[in-house]
C-alpha cells in the first residue's frame, strides 16, 4: 500500500469522501487520490516520491507555475507583519487600484474569499440594482456551490452524475432559469417567459466546467445585446478565464463588455481569494455604500492580497506571457488533433489559448448535452495511463487542461508522445 492510499484510508474516516472538494476525488477513475507534498515549476510531487508534470495547476491559479520565487517572497514579507488583522490595510487599496486602473469595465471591486462568494455576491448585487429576481444561467456551467447556482451545474456535480444537490430547497432555485450554452434563442425565449423580470444573465464566457467549450461566433455579443434589450445585467464569471486568456480576461479576448465580472484563482496566486467588480453605479449598491449586504471576516486578507498582487503585477509587466501561453496551447492541442486525424480517432479537442479538453466522443462539443455524450469509461483508462506515465490531469472528463508559463516544450512534447503511444 502506498502512502497516498494509507492517507486516503485515514481521510475517509474523518473527511466526507476523504477530500475537501469533490473535484479532488478519484472515484470516477477508480483510483485513490494522490496526496501531494510539494511542487515547483511544472512539476508536482506526491508523498510517495513520485514526480508528475502537472496540468491542473491548482485548478488554474498557477499560471506562472508552482512555487514561483517572486510570489513566495511576497508572501514571506507580508507574513512578517502578521497573518490577519480584521481591519483595512493598504494592500487592499493597492489591489483595487491596480485592477480598476487596468480593466476598463471594472470601476469598483470588492474582495472576497472564493469564486463561489464572488458569484453569490454578484448575483445579489444584480438583483438589488435591477429590482428583479430572475437569473439565467447555462446548463453545464458551474458558478460555485451556492444554492441558486446548483442547478444543471458542471464541474464536480457533472462528474458525479448528480444534476442538482440534496439539501437545496426548491424555493432557492425557483428564480434560476436554465438556458442552453451557445444558443441565443434559448435565452431570448426565457427572457420573454419571464416578462422582463431577469436581473442578470451569468455565463462562463469560455465554459470550462463541462470540459472546455468555447463560445461560438456572436454568442457573447448576442448575450450583451439581449441584456441591453431586456434591461438585465450581463455577468461574466471569469473565475477561470480572468487574467488567463489575456490580462483583461475573456472580456478583452472576445471584445465583449460585461456589467459585472467575478474573479478567483489567478487573482489569488493560489491563496483563497475571489472578487467581483463592475460599473460604479452597480457596485455602489454594496454595503456599506448601499443596501445590498455582503461581508467577510477574512476578505482582503493581507497575505492573500500580497500573493495575488505580486502575480498580477508580473502578468501586467510581462504580457508576452500570454503570447507564450497561446503558443504552447497551439503546440499541445493542435498536436493532439493531428494525432487523432492521423489515427482516424473521432475524439474531440476543444481549446482556447492555454485551456483545453479532450472529449471522448465523436460528437462536436458545443454545449452540456453534447459534452455528456463523452465516454467516461474510456477517459478513465486514458487518465490511468497518463498518471502511470507521470502526467497529472484532472480526474474527470469534464475538467480543463491548464497550461502555465513554467511548462516547457519538452513537457509538451512528452505529453504528445504519450498521447501518440496510448492511442
- pLDDT, tens digit (0-9, with 9 covering 90-100), for 104-131: 999 999 999 999 999 999 999 999 999 9
pLDDT per residue over 140-159, tens digit each? 998 987 777 776 655 544 43
Mapped onto helix, strand or coil, the DSSP state of residue 45 is: strand
The CATH-assigned architecture of domain 69-317 is 3-Layer(aba) Sandwich (3.40)
* Mean pLDDT computed over 47-55: 97
**Fold for the domain defined by 3-67+320-422:** 3.90.1150
Quick one: average pLDDT of 230-247?
Answer: 98
Write the DSSP symbol of residue 108.
Answer: E
Rounded to whole angstroms, the Cα distance separating 95 from 5 reads 41
Range with the poorest average pLDDT among 16-25, 239-248, 292-301: 16-25
Can 237 be counted among the known catalytic residues?
yes
Q: Which residues pair with 404 in a beta bridge?
A: none
Q: What is the pLDDT of residues 10-34, one digit of tens each?
A: 999 999 988 888 888 887 677 788 9
pLDDT for 155 equals 53
Of 55, 142, 263, 368, the catalytic one is 142
* Residue linked to cell 463541462: 210
Per-residue pLDDT, averaged over 333-344, amounts to 97
Would you say 331 and 409 are in contact if contact means Cβ atoms under 8 Å apart? yes
Active site residue 265: yes
What pLDDT is stored for residue 166 in this prediction?
74
Which residue in 172, 164, 125 sits closest to 142, CA to CA?
164
| Residue pLDDT, tens place only, 185-213 | 999 999 999 999 999 999 999 999 999 99
Residue 162: band (very low, low, confident or very high) from pLDDT cuts 50, 70, 90: very low
- pTM of the model as a whole: 0.94
43, 132, 134, 265: the catalytic one is 265
Cell of 35: 496526496
> What is the percent of the chain with per-residue pLDDT over 70, rounded to a whole number?
95
Per annotation, catalytic residue among 54, 68, 175, 237: 237
Q: Where in the chain is the domain with CATH 3.90.1150.10?
A: 3-67+320-422
Predicted local confidence at residue 152, as pLDDT: 63
Mention every residue, 6+ apart, whose C-beta is less than 8 A from residue 395.
Answer: 23, 24, 25, 26, 28, 29, 31, 33, 383
Above 60 in pLDDT, residue 163? no
Amino acid at each position: 500500500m502506498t502512502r497516498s492510499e494509507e492517507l486516503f484510508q485515514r481521510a475517509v474516516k474523518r473527511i466526507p469522501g476523504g477530500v475537501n472538494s469533490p473535484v479532488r476525488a478519484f472515484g470516477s477513475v477508480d483510483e485513490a487520490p494522490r496526496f501531494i507534498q510539494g511542487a515547483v515549476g511544472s512539476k508536482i510531487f506526491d508523498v510517495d516520491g513520485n514526480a508528475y508534470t502537472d496540468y491542473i495547476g491548482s485548478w488554474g491559479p498557477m499560471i506562472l507555475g508552482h512555487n514561483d520565487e517572486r510570489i513566495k517572497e511576497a508572501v514571506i514579507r507580508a507574513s512578517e507583519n502578521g497573518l490577519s488583522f480584521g481591519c483595512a490595510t493598504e494592500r487592499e487599496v493597492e489591489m483595487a487600484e491596480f485592477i480598476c486602473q487596468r480593466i476598463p469595465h471594472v470601476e469598483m471591486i470588492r474582495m472576497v474569499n472564493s469564486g463561489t462568494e464572488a458569484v453569490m455576491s454578484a448575483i445579489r448585487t444584480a438583483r438589488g440594482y435591477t429590482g428583479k429576481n430572475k437569473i439565467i444561467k447555462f446548463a453545464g456551467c458551474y458558478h460555485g456551490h451556492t444554492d441558486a447556482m446548483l442547478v444543471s451545474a458542471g464541474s464536480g456535480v457533472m462528474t458525479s452524475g448528480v444534476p442538482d444537490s440534496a439539501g437545496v430547497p426548491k424555493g432557492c432555485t425557483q428564480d434560476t432559469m436554465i438556458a442552453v450554452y451557445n444558443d441565443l434563442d434559448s435565452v431570448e425565449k426565457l427572457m420573454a417567459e419571464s416578462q422582463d423580470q431577469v436581473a442578470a444573465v451569468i455565463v462562463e464566457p469560455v465554459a470550462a466546467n463541462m470540459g472546455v467549450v468555447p463560445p461560438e461566433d456572436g454568442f457573447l455579443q448576442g448575450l450583451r445585446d439581449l441584456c441591453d434589450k431586456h434591461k438585465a445585467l450581463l455577468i461574466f464569471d471569469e473565475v477561470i478565464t480572468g487574467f488567463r486568456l489575456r490580462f483583461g480576461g475573456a472580456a478583452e479576448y472576445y471584445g465583449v463588455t460585461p456589467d459585472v465580472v467575478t474573479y478567483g484563482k489567478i487573482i489569488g496566486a493560489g491563496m483563497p481569494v475571489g472578487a467581483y467588480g463592475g460599473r460604479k453605479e452597480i457596485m455602489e449598491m454594496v454595503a456599506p455604500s448601499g443596501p445590498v449586504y455582503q461581508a467577510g471576516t477574512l476578505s482582503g486578507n493581507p497575505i492573500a492580497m500580497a500573493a495575488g498582487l505580486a502575480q498580477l503585477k508580473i502578468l501586467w509587466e510581462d504580457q508576452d506571457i500570454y503570447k507564450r501561453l497561446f503558443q504552447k496551447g497551439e503546440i499541445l492541442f493542435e498536436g493532439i488533433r493531428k494525432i487523432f486525424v492521423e489515427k482516424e480517432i473521432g475524439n474531440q479537442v476543444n481549446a482556447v489559448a492555454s485551456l483545453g479538453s479532450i472529449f471522448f466522443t465523436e460528437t462536436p462539443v458545443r454545449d452540456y448535452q453534447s459534452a455528456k455524450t463523452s465516454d467516461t469509461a474510456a477517459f478513465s483508462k486514458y487518465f490511468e495511463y497518463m498518471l502511470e506515465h507521470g502526467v497529472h490531469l484532472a480526474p474527470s472528463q469534464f475538467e480543463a487542461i491548464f497550461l502555465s508559463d513554467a511548462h516547457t516544450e519538452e513537457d509538451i512534447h512528452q505529453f504528445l508522445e504519450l498521447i501518440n503511444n496510448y492511442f
